[in-house]
Structure 1
Amino acid sequence: ILSVIGSVLSKECTNTPTQLSSHTFRYQLLKSQNETWKQEMFAHYHLIPTDDSAWSDLLPRKILRQEADELSWSMMYKKMKNPGSFKVGGDFLKEISLHDVRLDSDSIQGRAQETNLKYLLMLDVDNLVWSFRKTANLPTPGKPYGGWEAPDVELRGHFVGHYLSATAQMWASTHNDTLKEKMSAVVSALSACQKKMGTGYLSAFPSELFDRFEAIKPVWAPYYTIHKILAGLLDQYTFANDAQALDMTTWMVEYFYNRVQNVIRTHTVERHWLSLNEETGGMNDVLYRLFAITGNPKHLLLAHLFDKPCFLGLLAVQADDISGFHANTHIPIVIGSQMRYEVTGDPLY
């Protein structure tokens, strides 16, 4: 499918077909024993590829320009290491620290906070990290939670990322000692899993899911889950000053930096863009946040590579052509583009 915007010609940017974009439908499909139905539905998987060529000229640094070095990882890295002279613009609002805000316990907000706190304290550490330990071949006391966290669901582990973010922010808001002990125990348990695997990889599912992701084969949004884990660990550092969580984050990112590098070197950068038609959560956002902390150019480059240029390009040229895009896939990318501007000052964003 071709579309013309001004003088730009490109293939349509997309995500998985409408039904497969539904987590509930995807869950039912993957659970089904009807192989004919599965084959029929996945036959349309990634039917329409992305095409970064249409939007490459919009990238301010032109790191993906159509030249001899376009697919050279070393050249891309060199350009990102010397990113130019953009100035971070605008007087951004200053966020008030949660440590400096306390809610009236008798207010409706205070009662809601207390309810959330009780829920977070109710959850069991061993149950939360059960699938992580299973993946790392460690002993698995307790029992796994069900729903999206069930051991046979490919999205397992993302709730744990949400838990890390929620507890970090709740602790900053309450300084509850019991909560601090519990969330620190989760971080320590995950660290043990990461060290056992020894590569930097950390997830509740095996890395084989990323083999399928990179091969453009059916898989249920592995980077969506990785984003939640990264964001949770980074929140543990940001709100609770947990240095171990930051070390875990940077080790994870090094692992995925190498994976993306391998895809681009082995295939093309277009192959990487094509894989982004699967939902990747807010990978760009969390990587820009990490870069703001570390200043590591690898983190900036990887963040750029999770911007979806065929989609952000539509927004950049103010094309009224985004109806039908899966909101849960693309809104996080927009949020990440805002973080890109706040961190780098890129005028396009």
Structure 2
Amino acid sequence: MKGSTLFQVLAFLSVIGSVLSKECTNTPTQLSSHTFRYQLLKSQNETWKQEMFAYYHLIPTDDSAWSDLLPRKILRQEADELNWSMMYKKMKNPGSFKVGGDFLKEISLHDVRLDSDSIQGRAQETNLKYLLMLDVDNLVWSFRKTANLPTPGKPYGGWEAPDVELRGHFVGHYLSATSQMWASTHNDTLKEKMSAVVSALSACQKKMGTGYLSAFPSELFDRFEAIKPVWAPYYTIHKILAGLLDQYTFANDAQALDMTTWMVEYFYNRVQNVIRTHTVERHWLSLNEETGGMNDVLYRLFAITGNPKHLLLAHLFDKPCFLGLLAVQADDISGFHANTHIPIVIGSQMRYEVTSDPLYK
């Protein structure tokens, strides 16, 4: 089976050549720049915007071919059937996965303390002061606005500004940073602030009532799924999921884990709907937009919960058109946006650690 898959990949690459392989990304190289994307989305020059976004699609033939690179044909069409139930049946038994080797284990941050007089210790203190300086109400302002809750404080600017489509991703970074900083310092004030942020976000999630949690409305995902121009909504969702999962992992916040699993249930249903309504190829096409490390955080979550839905959704955020090139050690990967694709590789490492799938070694 492995040899057959490798042969298919090699045959496909030999046919399409080096130029078509760049079709794996759906935007011109310059659109991979977040600064450029911000300027473009804010621009009133409709002619320029239409010209740049004209490159936003793969043709269906190319997209179907990319789906053929999937390992073991897990998600390939069989006869006249390609649907969610078929995929689920093929992947719903996580018990068949066994860790195949010994992996290095990280030393717990709770067991490490830095010398306060060292360069590292002073850097840690600077970081701690910055995290303590941030205001809870300001951090969650756009989340509350999206959930139609009262909005005390004022929103931060930059990419957290209320009119920026990436708003909310910094809060995910904050949750990750504070959880690890607290594990390293056990600073009580920091624990109170990060717990307050988690509680505020939980209130937003409960108010919306669907499991969805973001600083922007779900309409951005409608555009994402329709392959229309939008600024990487899953990139932000990954940061929020990772931050909440870190709050559970490093600070043992059970509420954060519940929020994570509820969010994932929401997005599981969204992806399921795309595949049922269209095809799995349509889902792969949408992944040409930047999705952060969605596969990585979902494999991490599966390692905790053992829920086969989490494993399946993680697989569906692997990007086969890019990972297929890596699987055959192709040199023709220049021009791929690093910040889009390196997280996918990190997720592949997590997949191997969790499932021992040799293809991902």
Determine if the TM-score, normalized by the shorter chain, exceeds 0.5: yes
**Within 2, Cα distance between the matches of 1:301 and 1:308?**
13
Residue number among 142, 150, 172 corresponding to 2:183 in the alignment: 172
Q: Is the 8 A contact 1:10 1:53 kept in 2?
A: no
Between stretches 191-200 and 12-21, larger displacement belongs to 12-21
What's the counterpart of residue 299 of structure 1?
A: 310
- 1:8 matched to 2:13: no
**1:11 and 1:189, CA in 2 relative to 1: closer, same or farther beyond 3 A?**
same
Match of 2:352, SS state, is: helix
Distance apart, 1:9 and its partner CA:
9.9
Distance apart, 1:82 and its partner CA:
2.1
**Within 2, Cα distance between the matches of 1:90 and 1:189?**
41
| Alpha-carbon RMSD | 2.3
Between stretches 204-213 and 47-56, larger displacement belongs to 47-56
Distance apart, 1:317 and its partner CA:
1.1
Distance apart, 1:56 and its partner CA:
5.3
Q: Is the 8 A contact 2:169 2:236 kept in 1?
A: yes
**1:5 and 1:95, CA in 2 relative to 1: closer, same or farther beyond 3 A?**
farther
Between stretches 315-324 and 150-159, larger displacement belongs to 315-324
Distance apart, 1:249 and its partner CA:
0.2
The structure with more helix, counted as a fraction of residues = 2
**1:240 and 1:67, CA in 2 relative to 1: closer, same or farther beyond 3 A?**
same
**1:121 and 1:345, CA in 2 relative to 1: closer, same or farther beyond 3 A?**
same
Structure 2: 5+ residue stretches without partners: 1-11
Give the total of aligned pairs: 349
Q: Is the 8 A contact 2:67 2:281 kept in 1?
A: no
Distance apart, 1:5 and its partner CA:
7.3
CA displacement, residues 25-55 of structure 1 (integer Å, 9 cap, x when unaligned): 1111111122222122112223566956546
**1:110 and 1:238, CA in 2 relative to 1: closer, same or farther beyond 3 A?**
same
Match of 2:15, SS state, is: strand
Q: Is the 8 A contact 1:51 1:274 kept in 2?
A: no
Q: Is the 8 A contact 1:14 1:50 kept in 2?
A: no
Between stretches 11-20 and 261-270, larger displacement belongs to 11-20
**Within 1, Cα distance between the matches of 2:43 and 2:19?**
42
Between stretches 6-15 and 179-188, larger displacement belongs to 6-15
Q: Is the 8 A contact 2:26 2:55 kept in 1?
A: no
**Within 1, Cα distance between the matches of 2:137 and 2:113?**
31
CA displacement, residues 70-93 of structure 1 (integer Å, 9 cap, x when unaligned): 521011111111257443222210
**Within 1, Cα distance between the matches of 2:58 and 2:112?**
49
Residue number among 50, 55, 58 corresponding to 2:69 in the alignment: 58
**Within 2, Cα distance between the matches of 1:178 and 1:50?**
56
Distance apart, 1:108 and its partner CA:
0.2
TM-score (norm 1): 0.95
**Percent pairwise identity:** 99
What's the counterpart of residue 223 of structure 1?
A: 234
Between stretches 47-56 and 22-31, larger displacement belongs to 47-56
**Within 2, Cα distance between the matches of 1:196 and 1:186?**
15
Distance apart, 1:165 and its partner CA:
0.2
Match of 2:271, SS state, is: helix
Match of 1:6, SS state, is: helix
**1:140 and 1:33, CA in 2 relative to 1: closer, same or farther beyond 3 A?**
same
CA displacement, residues 279-335 of structure 1 (integer Å, 9 cap, x when unaligned): 000000000000000000000000000000011011011111111000000000000
**1:67 and 1:11, CA in 2 relative to 1: closer, same or farther beyond 3 A?**
farther
**1:9 and 1:222, CA in 2 relative to 1: closer, same or farther beyond 3 A?**
closer
Distance apart, 1:17 and its partner CA:
1.0
Distance apart, 1:181 and its partner CA:
0.1
**1:211 and 1:333, CA in 2 relative to 1: closer, same or farther beyond 3 A?**
same
Residue number among 303, 316, 319 corresponding to 1:308 in the alignment: 319
Q: Is the 8 A contact 2:137 2:151 kept in 1?
A: yes
Distance apart, 1:20 and its partner CA:
1.0
What's the counterpart of residue 263 of structure 1?
A: 274
Distance apart, 1:7 and its partner CA:
14
TM-score (norm 2): 0.92
**1:122 and 1:298, CA in 2 relative to 1: closer, same or farther beyond 3 A?**
same
Match of 1:140, SS state, is: coil
Q: Is the 8 A contact 2:147 2:208 kept in 1?
A: yes
Distance apart, 1:193 and its partner CA:
0.3
**Within 1, Cα distance between the matches of 2:60 and 2:76?**
19
Match of 1:4, SS state, is: helix
